[in-house]
């Protein structure tokens, strides 16, 4: 039999694995899907919650200079007029004169249709905000937009937060939430969708300190990915040239990731200056000034904004963690997720379904379940169950065998090294907590032993 060789990741493999293992499904799948929309399955939602939780912990909970909020998706349309989105949130659209497919002109390398090679129409600007109507009447006065970013909810609440949170500048407001863009073209799996989640924060600073804070946040944000296990060589900052900046930005650096489809934006860090607060002050007639009581001065703060798509982050974590490894005559597919990101932390696997063993294993499962996302799996052979957990990226499997009934010990198998230790069941929870926090597998609890290398 020809030897199987580990291959490289590509998008088709990833999409198929994500669907097979319950990470991500096409939206409305039984009706043929809906382009640019995706559903997270039982494993995917755990991954998503972990990514959002890791961001929230590092941005909001572990800092004194940040508060969180959750603003509504629908806002007064005047917000989007003042922010410039009604006029400027547009992409250049071209249409193929032959097959009538539409393309975002920015994405095209040549001036012909990528699908059939046909000639293209002139560019026209297409506003990518989704419109809907409040109330039963479909008329202009009732138009509202599905927000294309969460930022505006934070700008318009600036004074509410200053007066209620006691934060002094520099400080930030952070938010995570659904956002919608009527993208001309979607694609590359969850990279560019029409409905997605953003997590971003607005960091308010004194006007002449914006450049310093901008550099600070570029570095902090790069470090966040590295701490969660993304490989350094797959991250690269990209500074936007002036002519490519969004209408609100003075400078912008993207953190780009080496996705299977090439280097692309994962997160954007923008210096939005005082543009947004000034616009809202002018349009609403409400002051957006801040009073610095230490220096007794009034000013409109500048804003540094790191903004990333949750789904793009998930795609980066999936791609970075994916590996195919030779394993005897087979290929082992494994997601080497950082434990904080891993959707399932521990799997409890009884070696057999025999009643006495199952009861013992279920007791173990019940003691672990309140501490971490734990799965119980008693189907198929132990080898296949290990492979399944590898494909889910589960850092530790706990195996219960017949000897466990006699010596009250269980085996912990580490995902990455596939090495095993045997520990007293009473020490399982604390041992797993320590391993998930980064302790070496071979640091053993009392009574523990190295089992198999
Ligand atoms: N408030 C700033 C803002 O919205 P953006 O660069 O337009 O900036 C922020 O979007 C982030 O949202 C991007 O860096 C990207 O990660 C993500 N994003 C943007 N459009 C997206 C889409 N159609 N699908 C998935 N993620 C998207």
Per-position pLDDT tens, the chain of length 453:
556 788 899 999 999 999 999 999 999 999 999 999 999 999 999 999 999 999 999 999 999 999 999 999 999 999 999 999 999 999 899 999 999 999 989 888 899 999 999 999 999 998 999 999 998 888 878 899 999 999 999 999 999 999 999 999 999 999 999 999 999 988 899 999 999 999 999 999 999 999 999 999 999 999 999 999 999 999 999 999 988 888 788 899 999 999 999 999 999 999 999 999 999 999 999 999 999 999 999 999 999 999 999 999 999 999 999 999 998 888 999 999 999 999 999 999 999 999 899 999 999 999 999 999 999 999 999 999 999 999 999 999 999 999 999 999 999 999 999 999 999 999 999 999 999 999 999 999 999 999 965
Question: So what's the pLDDT on residue 3?
Answer: 63
Question: So what's the pLDDT on residue 379?
Answer: 93
Which residue's alpha carbon is at the smallest distance from atom 11 of ligand 1?
A: 308
Which residue's alpha carbon is at the smallest distance from atom 2 of ligand 1?
A: 307
Which residue's alpha carbon is at the smallest distance from atom 26 of ligand 1?
A: 309
Find the 345 Cα to ligand 1 centroid distance in Å: 29
Q: Are 397 and 383 in contact (CB under 8 A)?
A: no
Looking at the CA of residue 198, tell me the nearest atom of ligand 1.
12
What's the pTM?
0.95
Q: To test the ligand 1 pocket, which listed residue (198, 254, 310) has its Cβ within 8 A of the most ligand atoms?
A: 198
Question: So what's the pLDDT on residue 253?
Answer: 97
Ligand 1 touching residue 268 (CB < 6 A): yes
Question: So what's the pLDDT on residue 243?
Answer: 85
Find the 34 Cα to ligand 1 centroid distance in Å: 20
Find the 68 Cα to ligand 1 centroid distance in Å: 19
What is the CB neighbour count within 10 angstroms for residue 10?
11
Looking at the CA of residue 151, tell me the nearest atom of ligand 1.
1
Ligand 1 touching residue 391 (CB < 6 A): no
Ligand 1 touching residue 392 (CB < 6 A): no
Q: To test the ligand 1 pocket, which listed residue (37, 224, 247, 312) has its Cβ within 8 A of the most ligand atoms?
A: 312
Q: What are phi and psi of 158, to 5 degrees?
A: -50, -50
Which residue's alpha carbon is at the smallest distance from atom 25 of ligand 1?
A: 192
Ligand 1 touching residue 200 (CB < 6 A): yes
Ligand 1 touching residue 396 (CB < 6 A): no
Ligand 1 touching residue 196 (CB < 6 A): yes
Find the 417 Cα to ligand 1 centroid distance in Å: 36
Find the 185 Cα to ligand 1 centroid distance in Å: 14
Question: So what's the pLDDT on residue 109?
Answer: 86
Which residue's alpha carbon is at the smallest distance from atom 27 of ligand 1?
A: 309
């Amino acid at each position: 039999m020809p030897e199987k060789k580990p291959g490289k990741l590509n998008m088709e493999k990833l999409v198929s694995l994500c669907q097979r293992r319950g990470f991500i499904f096409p939206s409305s799948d039984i009706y043929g899907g809906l382009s640019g929309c995706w559903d997270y399955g039982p494993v995917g939602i755990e991954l998503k919650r972990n990514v959002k939780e890791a961001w929230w912990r590092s941005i909001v909970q572990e800092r004194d200079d940040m508060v969180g909020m959750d603003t509504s998706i629908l806002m007064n349309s005047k917000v989007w007029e003042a922010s410039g989105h009604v006029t400027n949130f547009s992409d250049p659209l071209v249409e193929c004169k032959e097959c009538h497919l539409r393309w975002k002109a920015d994405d095209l390398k040549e001036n012909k249709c990528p699908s059939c090679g046909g000639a293209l129409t002139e560019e026209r600007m297409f506003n990518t905000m989704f419109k809907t109507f409040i109330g039963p009447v479909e008329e202009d006065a009732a138009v509202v937009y599905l927000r294309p970013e969460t930022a505006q909810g934070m700008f318009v609440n600036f004074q509410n937060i200053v007066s209620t949170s006691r934060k002094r500048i520099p400080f930030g407001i952070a938010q995570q939430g659904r956002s919608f863009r009527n993208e001309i073209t979607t694609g590359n799996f969850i990279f560019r969708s029409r409905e997605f989640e953003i997590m971003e924060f607005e960091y308010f600073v004194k006007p002449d300190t914006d450049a310093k804070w901008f550099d600070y946040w570029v570095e902090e944000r790069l470090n966040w990915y590295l701490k969660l296990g993304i490989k350094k060589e797959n991250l690269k900052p990209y500074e936007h040239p002036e002519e490519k900046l969004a209408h609100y930005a003075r400078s912008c650096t993207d953190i780009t990731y080496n996705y299977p489809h090439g280097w692309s934006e994962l997160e954007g860090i923008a210096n939005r200056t005082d543009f947004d607060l000034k616009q809202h002050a002018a349009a609403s007639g409400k002051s957006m000034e801040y009073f610095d009581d230490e220096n007794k001065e009034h000013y409109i703060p500048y804003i540094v904004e790191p903004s990333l798509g949750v789904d793009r982050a998930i795609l980066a974590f999936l791609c970075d963690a994916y590996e195919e490894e030779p394993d005897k005559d087979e290929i082992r597919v494994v997601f080497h997720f950082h434990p904080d990101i891993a959707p399932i932390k521990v799997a409890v696997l009884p070696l057999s379904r025999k009643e006495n063993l199952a009861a013992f294993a279920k007791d173990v499962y019940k003691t672990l379940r309140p501490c971490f996302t734990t799965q119980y799996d008693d189907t198929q052979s132990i080898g296949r169950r290990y492979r399944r957990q590898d494909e889910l990226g589960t850092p530790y499997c706990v195996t219960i065998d017949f000897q466990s009934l006699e010596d009250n010990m269980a085996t912990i198998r580490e995902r990455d090294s596939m090495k095993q230790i045997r520990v007293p069941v009473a020490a399982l929870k604390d041992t797993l907590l320590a391993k998930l926090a980064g302790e070496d597998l071979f640091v053993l609890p009392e009574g523990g032993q190295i089992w198999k290398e």
